[in-house]
Structure formats: C-alpha cells, structure tokens
Structure 1
Amino acid sequence: MELWSERRPFPPPTPTLDFKVIRVPFFLEPDYDDSVPFVETNRERLLKKWGGEAGWREQRKRHDLQGRGEAAGIPHFNNNRLASNTMKSHRLVQYIGKKFGLAESEELYDRLNVYHFVDGKALNDVDGLVDVTIDVLKLTDGGKEIRSFLNDPLEPGRKEIEEAYKLTHELGIHSIPNFVVGGKFILSGAASPTDFLDVFEQVQEDGCSNPVFAKVLGVRDFQATINE
C-alpha cells in the first residue's frame, strides 16, 4: 500500500495531513500458472511451504494470522481457499482505480478479500471477478466491459503491475503488508501506531511528494494532484 502526502500549512494544535492511498500489487506465488483458474488449495500450499502440519501451526502462531485477520475485518480465514496466480485480480483493481476512482478500487479490494479469504474463491477466475465487480459497482451491463478487459489477450495493465512488483523488490519489500509513504518511508504491517505517528510527523515537517508506485501504475488521481 502506498500513501502519498504533501505538506500542508495547518496551524497548531491540530496539524493535518492530506493524503491518498493506492493498493500496490504483490504476488505471494508469482510462479503459479496464470492460464488456469486455480492451482491448489491454500492448505496444500502452506503444508508444502512449511514442511507439514507442525511447521504450519508454528507459523500461524508466530504471525498471529487469526488476530491480524480479525483486526482487518476478516473473522475467519478459509484454509481451503483456492490458491491461484493473482495477476487478473491485480489488473482488475488497478483498472477500476483508473476508470472509476481510488475509493471504488478500495471498495472492490475489500470485497475481494472476503471473496477469497472467507468464501475461498480463486482470484484468477474471470466469472467470479466479474460477479464481484458487478455487485460492488452496481454495473448495469452485466459486466461485459469488465469481462472483455480481463479476457483481452493483450492483458492491458500487466506491464505496469510487473514493473510495480519489480519496484517492491528494489525497495527491499519481500512480504506483505507494508506501507510506503511518498516513496521515502517504508513501514511493515506489524508497525505500531507510534511508528506511523513518527513518520507522519516527519512528513509534516519536511514534506513528502514522491508517490513512486502511482507513477509506475499510472494512477491519475495521484498524477492530477502532483501536477497542480
């Protein structure tokens, strides 16, 4: 997730930051075949990754996945959810952000979290992605435009997402969640409220106006503000 802000001359005692948020694509399994709706269940994936049940239980305890899920509004993770390549869902979220706005893409992202983590559906299934988008955006065309976009053999948006993923590694980001503030500060998802306050105070003092991911992804909501 990238946050961009600029310095605002708000007087004390209530200085305020004006910022926008953009979702940055990241692949947990970048080598998954993206030509199939799903590859395996998440349980199968994690058992292989952590060497069996014992290793998986230890990781769940260490990372407090249940607690973090509840904090994010996900009361129950479906451990048998369908794991897949996520390029289509990333393309969709970025497309909606550009065409309809960041608020709409954020709402779609939230709904896709429930669709995948709770309902257990695959993020590479076109039919499912179209249905969710219709519901979120209240589309009246049956999702025809969305389906056409996702099925386009030229895969519009793929290049930008690949460049953004490359940039995450250049910035030393190899896991999620992380917060990138103005291309200058990087905070992990485990950061405390105090850590965020420290960064925001620094931004308020020095300014921060380099939304690197917005530039790579070509998000107009950011670009319009930068060019003012």
Structure 2
Amino acid sequence: MRIDIFQDMVCPWCRIGKTNLYRALEMRGGEPPELRWRAFMLDPSVPEEGLPFMRTMQQKYGEQFSHEGMLGRVTEAGRSVGLTFDFRKVEYMPNTRLSHRMTAIAPDEFKAPLVDAIHRAYFEEGRNIGDRAVLMRIAEETGLDANDLADRLDRGEGEAEIEEDFEMAKRIGITGVPFFIIGRKFGLSGAQPPEAFLNVFRRLEEQA
C-alpha cells in the first residue's frame, strides 16, 4: 500500500495528521506501507528570509490569531495526541521550499524522521527552518550527511521533485493540507483521527 502525504513544514495540522496516521498504522499492523512525502507550500509568496510570525499571521487572520485563540486550540489539539507546540518560541514564518527540497533528496528511510525533526525544531524549539544552516544542523541530528546534502542542493537537486508535487496537487485540486492519498484510490483531507485512516484501510482490503 502506498500513502502520498501532501504537507507543509509550517502546518501544525499536518504534524497532528501524520501523527494520527502513524497511530493508525500501528493499530493496523502488518506490512508497513510506502510513504511518499509530497511538498505543498501554504504561502509560496513568503520571501527566502522569512517574515515575522505573529505580525504576518495576525494580518491574515485578525485578532483571533493569538496564543489564547487559534494557537491555543492548535496547542490543545496537539496535546491530545501527545505533541508539544510552543508558539511563544516561534519568531519566523519561513519559506519552506528548501526544507521540501531537502526532504525530496533524502534517502527514503530518512524522509519520515527528517520531516518529524523539522516539525519538532519549528513547533517545539522555534528554530528558523527557512535558514539553510539550521536545516543542515537538523539533517545532521537526523543522521544525514549534511555536506553531501548541501552539495546536492547547490546543484539544484530536489527542484524537479517538488515542482512535480506542486503540479500534482494542482491537478488533483488540493487547496489545503494535510491531504492523504491512500492506496492511490482514497483521499483524506485534514488532521483526521486514526479511525478515519483505519476505515480507509478496511475499504482497500475489502476491494482487494
């Protein structure tokens, strides 16, 4: 079974959604699926140097975007599935293109741990994941060869892969993430609970 996961590194619901997917896969057991991490950028207009986090998001969402409002609800949703979100440490709204390229060229066995590490660095530690040096340190912490990754990024590797993801999302009609395509047949949108994934797994088994 293949699962395509469209997500962005600055999307807290993507972090919650993939955690629920992991939990559903543990409950299902059996042979592990093939996970394909697909790039999606919630705001491609963010410059490479990033933008101030709170000011940018309050301009977009208004007064409801606060630690007591929208961020508080996200924090509580994360806590319910065992995740920590500390938005008081988040200073930047980064451009996520480089982090997607890095994930695209990482060996398959490192992709999921790398995405997890980038999410943790941003949402728990407030690190600027739009900064190349920060991403290289995260890669090293995940067990990757940062020098090799840097050389490959300098050669433009990963660009074609993420552009293919962007085109695929556009063709399918994906306008928000997380979005999961399971078994190349069923789509799930949003941070669905584990039961939603299990229902899809059962439907695929019944069809098989």
Q: Identity of counterpart residues, as a percentage?
A: 23
Query: What is the deviation of 1:121?
Result: 2.1
Cross-structure match for 2:134:
128
CA root-mean-square deviation: 2.6
Q: Judging changes above 3 Å, is the alpha-carbon distance between structure 1 residues 60 and 170 closer, same or farther for their aligned structure 2 residues?
A: farther
Aligned residues: 182
- Paired residues of 1:17 and 1:204 also in contact (CA < 8 A): no
The correspondence for 1:40, drawn from 32, 47, 51, is 51
The correspondence for 1:69, drawn from 74, 78, 81, is 78
Q: Judging changes above 3 Å, is the alpha-carbon distance between structure 1 residues 18 and 41 closer, same or farther for their aligned structure 2 residues?
A: same
Q: Judging changes above 3 Å, is the alpha-carbon distance between structure 1 residues 201 and 85 closer, same or farther for their aligned structure 2 residues?
A: same
- 5 Å-filtered alignment, 1:27-106, equals 27-34=41-48, 38-51=49-62, 53-54=63-64, 58-60=69-71, 64-70=73-79, 71=81, 73-78=83-88, 80-96=90-106, 100-101=107-108, 103-106=109-112
Distance (whole Å) between structure 2 residues aligned to residue 18 and residue 144 of structure 1:
30
Query: What is the deviation of 1:92?
Result: 0.5
- Paired residues of 2:89 and 2:125 also in contact (CA < 8 A): no
* TM-score normalised over the length of structure 2: 0.75
Query: What is the deviation of 1:58?
Result: 5.0
Distance (whole Å) between structure 2 residues aligned to residue 137 and residue 28 of structure 1:
28
User: Larger helix proportion, structure 1 or 2?
Assistant: 2
- 5 Å-filtered alignment, 1:1-228, equals 3=3, 16=30, 18-34=32-48, 38-51=49-62, 53-54=63-64, 58-60=69-71, 64-70=73-79, 71=81, 73-78=83-88, 80-96=90-106, 100-101=107-108, 103-137=109-143, 139=145, 143-152=146-155, 155-207=156-208
Structure with bigger RCO (C-alpha 8 Å, 6+ apart): 2
- Unpaired stretches in structure 2, ≥5 consecutive residues: 5-27
Distance (whole Å) between structure 1 residues aligned to residue 89 and residue 186 of structure 2:
33
Distance (whole Å) between structure 1 residues aligned to residue 85 and residue 126 of structure 2:
13
- 1:202 counterpart letter in structure 2: R
- Unpaired stretches in structure 1, ≥5 consecutive residues: 5-13, 208-228
Q: Secondary structure at the match of 1:137?
A: coil
- 1:81 counterpart letter in structure 2: E
